[in-house]
A = this chain, B = another copy of it.
């Protein structure tokens, strides 16, 4: 089974996920800047999720680049990841609309845990190993109970893990060019 169509389908689903999140940015009816202010939690959670989904797309891009062929198991492991990613618009809105209250932050964290577990499972099926993925799972899993101590610890972990994936990605390219 060629990998081209799995990539195309994955790109399509991820493109839709990353874009429909904006539908939850409800348009304010007031005419001045103060009408936009209450949108900041939704906007901030949208930015966070946009970066997270962007990182997943980037990783899937690199993973399928190294994989030669996909079989039924890889295909379903990939659909499993897409399922948990597809919940991200809903969990993002849940977190943003409730102004980062502990439970919504924990629910968002649980979704990230399940995405990371699904990604690690897929990477193991497709590549054989995925150490960075396992560390991410552990960090996200820690964020869930910590959100009840203080929700901003949870949010800080989400930002931290995103940075861990984002920074080397761009640094790596810079090194390669030298």
Q: Which A positions have Cβ atoms within 8 angstroms of B?
A: 1-2, 5-9, 11-20, 22-25, 27-33, 35-36, 47, 50, 54, 57-58, 61-62, 65, 71-73, 75-76, 79, 82-83, 86-87, 89-90, 93-94, 97-98, 101-104, 107, 166, 169-170, 172-174, 176-177
Contacts and interface: CB of A to CB of B under 8 A. Distances in A.
A177 to B, nearest CB: 7
A173 B73 contact: yes
A87 B50 CA distance: 11
The 6 closest A-B pairs by CB, nearest first: A12-B15, A71-B173, A72-B173, A31-B101, A16-B19, A27-B93
Copies of this protein chain in the complex: 4
